[in-house]
Amino acid sequence: MSDVFILDACALVALLQKEDGAEIVKGLYTKAVADEIALKMNRLNLLEVYYGCLREYGKEKTDELFKKITESPIQVISEFSDAVFEEAGRLKATYRISLADSVALAEACVHNGTLVTSDHHEFDVIEQNESIHFLWIR
């Protein structure tokens, strides 16, 4: 298993809302605090969580929550490297997945990391056909 873990939106949501699989994400979070692993998330995937929180909790609570996230050991990737751009495009064109999912997958590929997710409906076929590592939280 890799020392780099890429969170997709559902993994962070599971942690924040204490859903099934939250304990796996919390374990990774704890290892990131101890500098045992790198825990990363693309800003586009973080946006998915942000707008969901805005709908659910409103601006004030969302801003408080996101201040904690930005101060956490989760490294937010704010720029698209050329490698991520091209790999996300290839994955989206090949598998017809959402743009955000293609970006999370591309980050895992480029960083030689493991994608942390519960999205079997999107990623099962990709796991069978690509050499991308997955950590399924449920």
- 115-119 long-range Cβ contacts below 8 angstroms, 24+ apart: 115/5, 115/6, 115/8, 116/5, 116/6, 116/7, 116/8, 116/11, 116/24, 116/25, 116/28, 117/8, 117/10, 117/11, 118/10, 118/11, 118/14, 118/20, 118/21, 119/8, 119/10
pLDDT of amino acid 85: 98
- How far is residue 55's CA from residue 72's CA, in Å, rounded to a whole number? 23
pLDDT of amino acid 2: 63
- How far is residue 131's CA from residue 14's CA, in Å, rounded to a whole number? 25
How confident is the chain (138 residues) per 10-residue block, as mean pLDDT?
A: 89 96 98 97 97 96 94 95 98 97 98 97 96 97
Q: Calculate the alpha carbon distances from 52 to 7, 13, 26, 59, 66 in Å.
A: 16, 9, 20, 11, 12
pTM of the entire predicted model: 0.94
CATH number of 4-136: 3.40.50.1010
DSSP SS3 for 96: coil
pLDDT of amino acid 121: 92
pLDDT of amino acid 1: 47
What sign does the dihedral 49-55-137-16 (CA atoms) show? Answer: positive
